[in-house]
Amino acid sequence: MSENSKTAGLQRAVTEKQALIDVAMGRKKADLVLKNAVYVNVFSNELCKGDIAIVKGRIAGIGSYEGVTEIDVAGKIVCPGFIDAHIHLESSLVSPREFAKAVVPHGTTTVVTDPHEIANVMGTDGIEYMLQSTENLPVDVLFMLPSCVPATPLDEAGAELDHSAIDGFYAHPRVLGLAEMMNSFGVIHKDPQVLEKLAGAQSHGALIDGHAPGVLGKELAAYAAAGVRSDHECSQVEEALEKLRCGQYIMVRDGTAARNLEALTPLLKESYADRCVFCTDDKHPIDLLEKGHIDYIIRTAVSCGVEPITAIKAATRNPAEYFGLRDRGAIAPGFRADLTVIDGFERFRVELVIKRGAVSCEGGVVQPFAAANLKKSLAEKAHDTFRVARLRPEDFRPNGSQGVIGLVAGEIISTDNGRAEAIDPEKDILRIAVIERHKGTGHIGLGYIQGYGLKSGAVATSISHDSHNIIVVGTNEADMAFAANRVVENRGGIVVADKGKVKGEVVLEIAGLMSDDSLISVNRRLEEAKEQAFRLGASRGIDPFMTLSFMSLPVIPTLRLTTRGMVDVLKQEYI
């Protein structure tokens, strides 16, 4: 930065402080005043009263104030804007712009995203795509850099990102640190490349998020000692407490794929609550449309007996403190005017959202906002990510017996159900395959799955965590080939097929992960396709697409299938 730029920046800061001081002292009118406010004070843990005066996007003072624009919020409660501490935007199945339209009406003003889904497809171009496409949104999108592309050496992604590949991104003003270190096995066993990423993040003074389901005792000590400061994979209080005692923040997750809030509500009391933050991790369209976002987690926590202000702090001040976001997460002089106005603690309905001192949403209607400045070349790359030769039924016929992945209702973990030699729908034994789709290697991993329930046809998707190859399950090889080929023709998405015909599909043309269409349209097609899968026999005890998408992730026990074959996750080896 040149000296002239530094000088100009300093002068702007001085001018802004002068304006804040003048409004705080009552010498000048505020840009905006929320009159007669009852607001959540996250420092004193109480409801306070006063007019909230805002100038140049910040809170100048709270008391008796006049403004150029005034909004009477009597009878309402004003909260700090809500923060999602960990999410993959790609899980919404729509572009970041459409995601913003969905979450802003629910009071979300900041999200911290890990773009490892698209990075597994496009490498650093994927990270750059998400950085550019999240500019100018009415929600601040902050980033943690993908730590595991691919998730483990047993996976086969579209890219391999080592420390040097991501190091330059730490200079970006919206990058906060290193995202969930899923390869806990690599940390504990001192994998040099894994440790380089941890050391590299620390050299920038950056945070490191964790992902270590079931890692406890000395292994947890080693994992935490390496610098990991949070975990969002806890499903039981005992595990969460052990991690909290090791200095980790506990991200209480309640999303679409995994819902841990109810089990972890005992943490949200005085002894531990300040070390808890809320996150969604993955959030599908129907949940965003029908339930909400962070507001839904707060509402649910309160219904489970959590004190309302404690729940609000887990969505505001606590994540702000964890991530070092000193300018937000509270309603007090000098803080950013990111505010959410609700009708009360009982219904907890968001009525008004203020972002950077201006109304961004009122009555559920999002105000117009500028388009992102996305490079044409990046957009073109994101729409051209498949390198797969035409698939034939014989490509899905294994030689000899293969391992059987057992599904667990309501969970994304699996069991080892032995081996099988043939498809047997009567015993719920179906063929499952993972097809490499990034580099045209022709690799296809084959196995069996039990618990999916399909009686006819096949289901295929290009959402297969985290490498996002094509994963397909079916009752016969012909429909499996048809469904997988249709995914390729669509440049990505979900296909339900039977007897050589498409029964339902969702086109996800952005890296095979997201759609250019609206959230409402994507959700409608998704739910229609889901119903078609159920009609073909898929178990209604599972989400036929989300459950399938996790069967290729070799960091979640017990068995998983990758492009090179069946993996014993606990041993991190092929079987």
Q: Read off the pLDDT of residues 20-67 as tens digits, 9 standing for 90 and up.
A: 999 999 999 999 999 999 999 999 999 999 999 999 999 999 999 999
What CATH number has the domain spanning 79-365? 3.20.20.140
- Confidence (pLDDT) at 253: 97
Query: pLDDT tens for residues 238-278?
Result: 999 999 999 999 999 999 888 899 999 999 988 999 999 99
The yes-or-no verdict on residue 465 having pLDDT over 80 is yes
- Confidence (pLDDT) at 270: 83
Least confident of 118-127, 256-265, 395-404: 256-265
In this structure, the strands spanning 108-113 and 140-145 are parallel
pLDDT tier at 5 (50, 70, 90 boundaries)?
confident
Say if residue 369 is exposed, middle or buried (CB neighbours under 10 Å; 0-12, 13-18, 19+): middle
8 A C-beta contact, residue 104 and residue 353: yes
Residue 561, beta-bridge partner list: 566
Which are the contacts of 14, defined by CB distance < 8 A and separation ≥ 6?
none
- Confidence (pLDDT) at 442: 97
Which are the contacts of 377, defined by CB distance < 8 A and separation ≥ 6?
none
- Confidence (pLDDT) at 412: 80
Q: How many residues does the chain have?
A: 575
- Confidence (pLDDT) at 1: 61
**Which amino acid type is present at position 165?**
A
- Confidence (pLDDT) at 434: 98
Domain coordinates of the chain in residue numbers? 79-365, 382-574
pLDDT tier at 8 (50, 70, 90 boundaries)?
confident
Distance from the first to the final alpha carbon of the chain: 55
Mean pLDDT of the chain: 96
- Confidence (pLDDT) at 413: 86
pLDDT tier at 3 (50, 70, 90 boundaries)?
confident
Could you tell me which of 411, 417, 438, 441 has the C-alpha nearest to residue 566?
A: 417
What's the whole-number mean pLDDT along residues 418-441?
97
Say if residue 297 is exposed, middle or buried (CB neighbours under 10 Å; 0-12, 13-18, 19+): buried
Q: What span, in angstroms and rounded, lies between the C-alpha atoms of 176 and 302?
A: 30
Query: pLDDT tens for residues 466-489?
Result: 999 999 999 999 999 999 999 999
The yes-or-no verdict on residue 79 having pLDDT over 90 is yes
Q: In what order do the strands lie in the sheet with 140-145?
A: 82-87, 108-113, 140-145, 175-181, 207-210
Query: pLDDT tens for residues 283-334?
Result: 999 999 999 999 999 999 999 999 999 999 999 999 999 999 999 999 999 9
**What distance separates the 2 farthest-apart alpha carbons in the chain?**
83
